[in-house]
Amino acid sequence: MTTRTIQHGSTEHRIWQVLLYGGIAAVVLAIALTQPDYRMAQFSAVAAWSVALLGMNLIIGYGGQMALGHSAFFGFGSYLTAILYADYGVSFVGTLPISALAGAAIGFLLGLPALRISGLYLALVTLALALAFPAIAKMDQLSALTGGANGKLAYIQWLPPTWLPFTVTSAAWVFLTLSAFAAVLFLLASNAMRSRVGRAVVALRDNQIGAAVSGVHPATWKTSTFAVSAAYASLAGSLMMLAVPIVTPDSGGFLVAVTLITGMVIGGAGTISGAVIGGVAVVWLPELSKHWAGALPLVSESDGTALSTAVYGAVLILVVFVMPGGVVTFVRRLRARFVVVVPQVPATSPPVAHAAPLSPTPELEMERP
């Protein structure tokens, strides 16, 4: 088996990229044209979840900050869009920038105390946020806005426009819209992570002192990462209102927080595309587990349903052991056997080298940590 080397930015690389993204677009379109409405709601949910998972990935995967309570931002975004749309007559698209900015502002404020704590302590504090969210949403003082324990309904009118060259159901149009929003948000995040911004964020995660003496201001970059990731989670909540017309206090609660963590770990922390895989897993893994549990030998149909969460847990354990680093890391490692993409060497005339090239010795481990 030979590995193929492709230069980054070469024609061959471009062709593969076009094929990949074109393929994804074709799959999305095929889903919209062929799938029944009840499935379409699930696909729409995947698009919304993946945006939230991307937000989690920015702060945890890239930033290394254990902010586990992003369900609170997710729930916040849903409520904000539901309230603005249903009570204040703001259009759905109009609620999105408001949701992003409000999420970013709250994320920034919460990012300030997060500068002083890290690791397990930050995990605990942010999880507390997820625990507090349902209680706050249920408060009597807010029930006029939030609908109290019953949650808030907002049926958003979203019909396919007449200029579409093909006919789709309105559920399919919702799916296409959410996919388009998600694609734009993924592109923006990917651009940022490939730039000076991403390098600063990852440098802070890898070695804060090394980053600081290189000129990376820890407070600026950590709080801004917090703000951006919260904006993504809040936007995801807003987008979800298009797929599921109701938001309840538990939409921002502990279970959703755990769901988000699960999705991030399965997809692959610190990867952009892992968020999509995570979204797929979050939506279908529980359902598939139920199906698999029912198919287990020696158990009756009803026992199978009861065992579905156990199967779900077993699948999670299996993923963590077989694919440490998530599905995306696993696939990348697999791909590296067949094809390697090498970065392009910048076209410059380097000055005379004063030292002979060091021969890399990968077998040697670092002498010190």
Partner 1 sequence: MDMALLAVDDVTVRFGGIVALSDLSFEVERGQICGLIGPNGAGKTTLFNCVSRVYQPTSGSIFFDGEDLLSVPAWRTAAKGIARTFQNLALFPTMTVAENVMVGAHAASRQNWLTAALRLRTHREDDQLRSQAWELLTYLGLQDIAFRPCAGLPFGTLKRVEIARALAARPRLLLLDEPASGLTHAEVAELADTLRAIRSDFDLTILLVEHHMQMVMGLSDNVVVLDFGKKIADGTPALVREDPAVVEAYLGSGVA
CB of 175 to partner 1, least distance (A): 25
CA distances in angstroms from 303 to 30, 59, 285, 297, listed in the order given: 36, 40, 18, 11
Beta carbons within 10 angstroms of residue 144's beta carbon: 10
- Closest separation between CB of residue 363 and partner 1, Å? 9
Write down the least CB distance from residue 116 to partner 1, Å: 16
Instruction: Name the site residues for partner 1 (rule: CB under 8 A).
Output: 188-189, 191-192, 195-200, 202-203, 205-207, 209-218, 224, 228, 270, 342-343, 345-348, 350-351, 353-362, 364-369
Cβ distance to partner 1 smaller for residue 322 or 358:
358
In this complex, which beta carbon is closest to partner 1, that of residue 174 or of residue 228? Answer: 228
- 4 versus 368: smaller Cβ distance to partner 1: 368
- Residues 201 and 59: their CA atoms lie apart, in Å, by 9
**Helical spans, DSSP H, in the chain:** 11-34, 37-56, 71-88, 92-114, 119-138, 143-146, 170-193, 196-206, 208-213, 218-243, 254-267, 274-295, 301-322, 326-335
Smaller CB separation from partner 1, 164 or 212: 212
Q: Smaller CB distance to partner 1: residue 52 or 227?
A: 227
> What is the C-alpha separation between 319 and 324, in angstroms, rounded?
7
CB of 158 to partner 1, least distance (A): 26
Strand pairing report for 152-153 and 4-7: unpaired
Q: Which is nearer to partner 1, 2 or 349 (CB)?
A: 349
Cβ-Cβ contacts under 8 Å for 79 (sequence gap 6 or more): 137, 145, 146, 152, 237, 247, 251, 252
CB 222 within 8 A of CB 66: no
| Distance from the first to the final alpha carbon of the chain | 35
Q: Which is nearer to partner 1, 159 or 345 (CB)?
A: 345
**What's the rounded Cα separation, in Å, for the pair 320 and 314?**
10
CB of 346 to partner 1, least distance (A): 4
Residue whose CB is less far from partner 1, 194 or 337:
194
- CB 101 → partner 1: shortest distance, Å? 13
CB of 190 to partner 1, least distance (A): 9
CA distance 211 to 205: 9
**Element spanning 367, H or E:** none
CA dist 59 and 260 (Å) reads: 13
